[in-house]
Amino acid sequence: MRTIAGGALAELMPLHDAVAELVGNGDSVALEGFTHLIPFEAGHELIRQGRRELELIRMTPDLLYDQMIGMGVARRLVFSYGGNPGVGGLHRFRDVVENGWPHPVEIEEHSHAGMANRYAAGAARMPCAIMRGYVGTDLMAHTTVAPITCPFTGETLTAVPALRPDVAIVHAQEADRDGNVQLWGIPGVQKEAVLAAARSLVTVERIVDQLELRPGGIVIPEWVISAVSEAPGGSRPSYSLGITDRDNDFYRFWDKMSRDRDQFRAWMEENVLGKGVSKT
């Protein structure tokens, strides 16, 4: 597998093959995208390929991890906000924490600031990040953070451990044929997740001959990416700014439909397992 110093081109490959090559059972996997550019299609491919025992890392689990949790993919969850933004709770996430369905999972939760700092430390290959946060909360006793004293001012700060996922998966608007990736709009922690991980997969709306640099666009060079796969519409029901719109009605629909386990399974069978790019 490619290493950070590898320097080889990112491989353009079908999503099925990229997932098969990059993600193994038991891996820690971060699928990122902060409301925007959530890599749904890649997550669905993980479900279709029957990955198990994954440590799923994501600031905002959103519907994607709700689906993955409910389909039994997760062994452990690392997150900071397990809600359906603007709508309410996530019912499969609630069910696994409250009732252990479909099987119990471990959880490790943080604040957004904590997770963001953990990714940034991972990207910088630092063992930890130092921040102001967590103090006074009950979260402190239930998660992995520690006080640290500033050697210059004596101030007590909080250290959070770096995140170093085995694999990061993000979605972007486009890539060129060498595998250089450009994303624009809300950038979330995608760049940090890719740089923090040992391996990375970027799914894109389209492959273009040449990237046209956009104001505010973020380019991730191909030599820090393991694989790029074309997946048009691959962030739905999230969105890819300028190409697809966020399907807010779907987020509302999910809130109603996903409350019931059987209904959820039936929906996943029809719309995820029975569809998509996975081939035997």
Residue 44 vs 93, nearer CB to another protein: 93
Residue 211 vs 241, nearer CB to another protein: 241
Side chain identity at residue 93, one-letter code: F
Please tell me the number of Cα atoms within 13 Å of 241 on its side-chain side: 14
Report yes or no: 133 and 113 within 8 Å, Cβ to Cβ. yes
Residue 39 vs 229, nearer CB to another protein: 39
Would you state the structure tokens that stand for residue 277, as one six-digit string? 């790019």
Residue 3 vs 156, nearer CB to another protein: 156
Least Cβ distance, residue 160 to another protein (angstroms): 12
Least Cβ distance, residue 136 to another protein (angstroms): 4
Least Cβ distance, residue 59 to another protein (angstroms): 7
Please tell me whether residue 5 adopts helix, strand or coil conformation.
coil
Would you state the structure tokens that stand for residue 254, as one six-digit string? 């999910």
Residue 216 vs 274, nearer CB to another protein: 216
Number of H helices, E strands in the chain: 8, 15
Least Cβ distance, residue 126 to another protein (angstroms): 13
In angstroms, how far is CA 122 from the centroid of its own chain? Answer: 15
Strands (E), 137-230: 146-149, 156-161, 167-176, 181-183, 199-208, 218-220, 227-230
Least Cβ distance, residue 246 to another protein (angstroms): 6
Taken as a whole, the chain contains a residue count of: 280
Least Cβ distance, residue 221 to another protein (angstroms): 17
Residue 5 vs 141, nearer CB to another protein: 141
Torsion sign across C-alpha atoms 48, 197, 251, 235: negative
Phi/psi for 20 (5° steps) reads: -60, -40
Counting beta carbons within 10 angstroms of the beta carbon of residue 275, is it exposed (0 to 12), middle (13 to 18) or buried (19 or more)? Answer: exposed
Query: Of the candidates 150, 177, 249, which has an alpha carbon nearest to the alpha carbon of residue 9?
Result: 177
Residues engaged in binding another protein (CB under 8 A): 34-36, 59-60, 79-83, 85-87, 89-90, 93-94, 97-98, 109-113, 116-117, 119-120, 131-139, 142, 155-156, 185-189, 191-192, 216, 239, 241, 245-246, 248, 251
Least Cβ distance, residue 145 to another protein (angstroms): 11
CB atoms within 10 A of CB 152: 6
Residue 52 vs 214, nearer CB to another protein: 214
Least Cβ distance, residue 231 to another protein (angstroms): 19
Residue 50 vs 147, nearer CB to another protein: 147
